[in-house]
Structure formats: C-alpha cells, structure tokens
Amino acid sequence: MQQTVKNNKRIVTSWAFFDWANSAYALVISVAIFPNYFIRVTDDYISFFGMSVSNSSMYAYTISVSYLLLALVLPMLSGIADYSGRRLSFLKFFTILGSTACMLLFFFQGMEQVWIALIGFMLAMIGFDGGKVFYNSYLPIIATEDQYDRVSAKGFSYGYIGSVLLLIVNLVMIMNPAWFGIENDTLAVRLSFVMVGLWWIGFAQIPFHRLPADTPNRMGQKIFRKGFQEIQTVWHALKPQVNTRRFLISFFCYSAGVQTILYLAATFAEKELSFGTSELIILILILQIVAIAGAYLFALVSQRLGNKIALCIMLVIWIGVCILAYLVQLKMHFYLVAGLVGLVMGGIQSLSRSTYAKLIDDHEGEVTSYFSFYEVLEKLAIVFGTFSFGLIDQITGTMRDSIAVLTLYFIIGMLILLKVRIQSTTP
C-alpha cells in the first residue's frame, strides 16, 4: 500500500474543494432558497395519511426524519470510514445521491409534486451529511496533527466562498430572469436547484481525482458494528464524568435551539413576514457576512474571558434572538434579528466543539469515539428541536409560539452550563 504524503499542497487544496462543492447545498438549498420556495408554492395544509399538516410543520418534520435516519446510521458510517478503506467510494456515493436529489427538485412546481420535494430534500440532506463523515475522515490521512486547524480552516473558507458566489449568481438570476431568457422567477428558482446539483457533482471531481485512492479491506460484520460499539463505550465512560455529562446535556438543549433556528428561519420569514425569495437571499448574505466578524469576535472573547463566559454571552444573545423574533412585525426589524443570528451562529458551534475537546482532554486515545458520540448527539438535538417546532406550529397554528418554546431550550442549556467547570486557558 502506497503511503500518502501528508501536507501536500495539491492534495490539501483538492480536499478543500469538496467543501467548495457541497457547501452550495448547505447554503442555497437548506437555508436560502428552497425553504421559502416550498412554503410559497404549497398549500397552507398538506394531507398526510389522512391528517392535515401545515406546510411549515411538514417541512420541519422532513428535517427531523432526515436527521433521525442520520443519527441511526452515523455510527455505522464512522466505522466504515475508519476501517473499510473505502472512503473515496462512499464519498462518491453520497455525493451522487445528494447532487442528484438537488437536481430532482427542479420538477417540484406545486402541490402535485410535493412528494418529489420532500423526498428530494431528504435525500439531499442525507447525501450532504453522510458524505461529510467520509470527507472529514480524510483529515488525518492528508495532514499532520499540527496542521489540522489550518487545513480544516482552509476547507471552511473554500466552502464559504464557493457557496456565497453561487448564491449571488442565483440572486441575480431570480431578481432578473429576463436577462437569462427565463420567463419568471419560479423557473429561475427551480434552475438554481439544478445549478446546485451540477456545482456539487462538478467541483467534487477535483477531490475525486486527487485524493488518495481506496485500499479496500474486507467489510465484515465487525466493521458495521465498530462504530456502534464505540458509541456504547463512550456512553458508559461518561457516567462517572459528571462535568462532561453536564456539558453534553447543556449542548443538546441549546443545539436544539440553534440548529432549529438555522434550518427554519427562512420558513418563518416567508410565512410570518411574507419575505420573497430575493429578499431572503439578501438576508442570508447579510447573515453570512456578519458571521465572519462574529466568529473572530467570540474567539477573542473566549481568549480573554474563557469558553464558559463566551458561551453564556452567546446564549443570552440567542435568547434575545428568540424574544425579538417572537415580537417582530416588520421586515426591517427581522434583518436586525438576522444580524444577531449571524453574530453568534458560527461562534457557538466552533466554541462548543473546542470546549468539548478540553473536557475530554484526558481521553486522548479515544478522541474519535468521543466525537462520534458528539456528532450523534447533535443530530438528535436537531431531531428534537425541529420536531417540537413543527408540532407546536401544528397545534397552535403559528410559528411564533414555536419560537417561544425555543427560548426555553436556550435558558435550560445556559442554566446547566453554569454548573460546568471548564479549565480556563486565559492568561
């Protein structure tokens, strides 16, 4: 077996291009365009096995089901990534699945094709998150440990730049369809779904051709069980670790709020405030720009005051976001709310991960297992948050009440976090 040369600039750059490729889905489909379009072209209530479900609740439930499936198979995928030697094959499979599902959304024009929308969106989400498992598993293969942060940051920056560039193109096309010989903005929106799929599968060819080739091992039952065994081991190991366990409970609670807001803010903006697609794209672009400044700001706050205080400050802001979103009536005010979300969006996710790393610092040989557990917990938090959001929306008939309940998740998360002891690294 040929040994991969680590820190090779060409290989690292090609690896980062996968983030450039698949981040278009994360920004364009799951956040900026598809949620708004789904609410706009579907009836207020959708018939589902004899039940009448609001379109916003149905959208939330689709996210819940997708992440429940991901949480169930994630340990198995992690085991396959670590021990099968088939990283590239599975990365290609999930990429083809996700990009094809994105392009299938082109055929969704209204209620008659609503099942194409729900199934296509679900498969695209599974393709995106399933592929990330194998994408992330390349990091120790292509880089030395001292370069992990730099290489990981390069992937993130490529993903941000690529997705924003495509989103701007989509914005221009949707706002000015006649420039492109397109009859209306609805067709322009559907063409943007095709563009995401082509962008994803097209730019993915760069890492597919340059990343280390597979060296397949025999995929016996042991490989499929390995990931689940690791999760089970961590579960038992956490019982005496009161401090880490408290943090994970806190993380679960506030992640349910964070991820639900990120996934469902667009549906809220369309349904409660009548945002159009072009207005929403501008809103997302503002959010992304503010997020860059926010990430640097809270990295500085954490360095000066410590992780715990930085996280608590962000949770207070998230609580404020929920309260303001519940009260907001004007579009201009919602732009301000989005600015606050951008301020704390990236910071709370990156700081949560680094805080967890500090808490498990004494378990150096089991880091992969601990982070697999962390990933599964985050997926389950998304399931809990989006399902409860959809259920409350369905029962009360307004998404504002769902937002109010998310406030409780942040409050509970912060109260538990206050009891966690985090080793200070401040000077």
Contact residues for 103 (Cβ-Cβ < 8 A; gap 6+): 193, 194, 197, 198
For the chain, state the CA radius of gyration. Answer: 21
CATH of the domain at 28: 1.20.1250.20
Claim to verify: residue 65 and residue 159 sit in the same structural domain:
yes
Phi and psi angles of residue 197, each rounded to the nearest 5 degrees, phi first: -60, -45
The SS3 assignment for 44 reads coil
Q: Taking residues 255-260, what's their average pLDDT?
A: 94
Same domain, 342 and 381: yes
Answer whether 375's CB lies under 8 Å from 74's CB: yes
Q: Do the domain assignments include residue 159?
A: yes
Say if residue 17 is in the same domain as residue 127: yes
Let me know if residue 165 belongs to a domain. Answer: yes
Which three-class secondary structure state does DSSP give residue 51? Answer: strand
Structural domain includes residue 278: yes
pLDDT given for residue 368 in this prediction? 60
Residue 130 lies in a domain: yes
Same domain, 274 and 211: no
Q: pLDDT over 90 for what percent of the chain? A: 43
Residue 54: in which H helix or E strand, if any? strand 51-54
Whether residues 257 and 195 fall in one domain: no
Task: Round to whole Å and give the CA distance between 209 and 345.
Answer: 34
Is residue 324 domain-shared with residue 347, that is, in the same domain? Answer: yes
Enumerate the β-bridge partners of residue 47: 52
* Residue 53 and residue 134 in one domain: yes
Q: Residue range 16-39: average pLDDT?
A: 90
What's residue 4's pLDDT? 65
Runs of H (alpha helix) within 328-366: 331-359
Q: Furthest-apart CA pair in the chain: how many Å?
A: 65
Among residues 228, 262, 290, the one where a domain terminates is 228
Q: What is the pLDDT of residue 306?
A: 85
Q: Please state the pTM of the whole predicted model.
A: 0.84
Q: Are 244 and 40 contacting, i.e. CB atoms less than 8 angstroms apart?
A: no
233 belongs to a structural domain = no
Contact 373, 237 (CB under 8 A): no
Question: Do 218 and 263 fall into the same domain?
Answer: no
Provide mean pLDDT across the span 306-310. Answer: 88
- Domain boundary residue, one of 173, 197, 228: 228
DSSP designation for 28: I
210 and 258 share one domain: no
pLDDT digits (tens, 9 = 90+) for 110-122: 999 999 999 999 9
pLDDT band at 427 (very low <50, low <70, confident <90, very high): very low
Is 37 found in the same domain as 90? yes
Tokens at 153, concatenated: 């940051």
Q: Per the domain annotation, does 205 fall within a domain?
A: yes
Q: List pLDDT tens digits, range 367-387.
A: 567 777 888 898 999 999 999
Is residue 2 assigned to a domain? yes
Nearest to 247 by CA among 311, 327, 335, 158: 311
Spatial contact of 142 and 212, defined as CB atoms under 8 Å apart: yes
Q: What integer is the mean pLDDT of 186-207?
A: 95
pLDDT digits (tens, 9 = 90+) for 221-251: 666 677 677 778 788 888 888 888 899 999 9
The domain containing residue 30 runs over which residues?
1-228
Residue with the bigger pLDDT between 159 and 384: it is 384
Same domain, 342 and 384: yes
- Domain limit, last residue, from 228, 258, 277: 228
Q: What's the rounded Cα separation, in Å, for the pair 189 and 264?
A: 19
| 153 and 26 belong to one structural domain | yes
Terminal Cα-to-Cα distance of the chain (whole angstroms): 46
Structural domains counted in the chain: 2
